[in-house]
Structure 1
Amino acid sequence: MESLGSRLKDIRLKAGLTLRELARQAEVSPSFVSQIENGKSQPSVATLYVFSQLLDVSVDELFEARDPHPQPARFVGQEEGWEPGGPKNPTSAWPPTAYSNRVSVVHPTHRPHLNMAEGVVWERLAATPEHAANFMKITYAPGATSTAGGDLVSHVGWEYGYVLEGELEVTIGEEVFHLHSGESLGFDSAIPHVLRNPGETEFVGLWFVHGTS
């Protein structure tokens, strides 16, 4: 959360917004924004989306800074002609720069976590350069919701989810979907929605959110 707070502050300053102005637009108190930036408070999922929209960045960019000069991927057996453009490398059909940042493998021990309010945890499953795309494992404690007060929210993009464990109630517009292990869904995130764990055990699922920017 300390990393999130410092990232939020950096992005806010680069956007030319004062703390009070961001709080006003997000309809939260300045002290709440200050607590988040100082790592003393945890935002809800909905608040995180509001911040990302107001600051014109993806939620992914609030996790960590993007490296403007990423190191090219190292290929196994470079000394034997497997380097980009080498005679044995089938990826030579594409420019090396188009390939080097397109693969992301994340070991569970190195997976970034984001613990938010209401007992919601996001775990980043891949880190590619694609903008406004988030592939996550999400966990909801019993009774946890994606918004602090259970209000419906909307944002740009699409969401796709798969239930691994437990159950999840997803309200989309005027419809309510009750999902159990093995079930999945996809929906337009522009429709007001909220996620809630109505069960007595932890909910765990795979979630993919894709924006349009």
Structure 2
Amino acid sequence: MSLRELARQANVSASFISQIENDKSQPSVATLYVLAQLLNVSVDEFFGTENGASIAESRPAESSFVASGADPTTAWRPSEYANRISVEHPSHRPHLDMAAGVVWERLAATPEKAVNFMKVTYAPGASSSDAGSVQQHEGYEYGYVLAGEVEITIGGEIFVLREGESLGFDSRIAHTLRNVGTEYFEGIWFVHGHSH
């Protein structure tokens, strides 16, 4: 697919796609899902991996379950399960910076394509969609609020979740997340069952 055709189908400009490729602009969450669907890739592939290795080939940089006092940078030892275990230390966690102050941090990576497990951060006023638009995609989403508050519009219903509250919903229903508070919103998000 050409860059112009991708832009046309994503309903954005070709120059915007080029700016994303060159790290000069960031897409919204909704645009990211559209691009993943059009390119027939998992959203997880946008996180990339260190040294260009695939998710299955990359080994965890650190281990969070090491003996007390051990150096976490040297504690992980390859084993027969190396391709089936993912440990992400906060200092090495792959992340995506998106438009309007939205950041996704991958919490674990496995070869499973239909899963995204991440910490999400929204600056005050930040939204998952461009003004007036919504997103929908295959799968189910589950979220837990760590700090701040988030307004989630699902279909025609609006939910405002605060610290300690959680929800789950069918992602095929049009939805938008927006930080309506004055503090940063942080949450743990799990998207399962999407096909791209």
TM-score in terms of structure 2 length: 0.83
Give the Cα separation in 1 of the matches to 2:164 and 2:170. 21
2:117 matches 1:130: no
Measured against aligned partners, the alpha-carbon deviations of 1:106-134 in whole angstroms (never above 9, x if no partner) come to 11111112111011011111011111211
The offset of 1:71, in angstroms, is 7.1
2:190 matches 1:208: yes
1:1-213 superposed matches below 5 A:
17-64=1-48, 67=54, 70=57, 99-213=81-195
Task: Give the number of the structure whose alpha-carbon radius of gyration is greater.
Answer: 1
Measured against aligned partners, the alpha-carbon deviations of 1:25-63 in whole angstroms (never above 9, x if no partner) come to 001111111111111111111110000001111100122
Matched-pair contact (CA < 8 Å) for 2:137–2:194: no
Measured against aligned partners, the alpha-carbon deviations of 1:48-101 in whole angstroms (never above 9, x if no partner) come to 00000011111001221652872789xxxxxxxxx97xxxxxxxxxxx5xx442
Matched-pair contact (CA < 8 Å) for 2:105–2:120: yes
Give the Cα separation in 1 of the matches to 2:170 and 2:38. 20
Letter in 1 for 2:45: E
Matched-pair contact (CA < 8 Å) for 1:160–1:184: yes
Higher helix share: 1
Distance 1:173 1:35, change over 3 A: same
Matched-pair contact (CA < 8 Å) for 2:145–2:186: yes
Matched-pair contact (CA < 8 Å) for 2:104–2:119: yes
Identity %: 66
In the alignment of these two chains, the number of paired residues is 175
Output the aligned Cα RMSD: 2.0
The offset of 1:151, in angstroms, is 1.7
In structure 1, stretches of 5+ residues that fail to align are 1-16, 74-82, 85-95
In structure 2, stretches of 5+ residues that fail to align are 61-77
Letter in 2 for 1:33: I
Distance 1:58 1:204, change over 3 A: same
Q: In structure 2, the residue corresponding to 1:34 is in which secondary structure?
A: helix
Measured against aligned partners, the alpha-carbon deviations of 1:151-198 in whole angstroms (never above 9, x if no partner) come to 221111110000000001000001111101000000000000000000
TM-score in terms of structure 1 length: 0.77
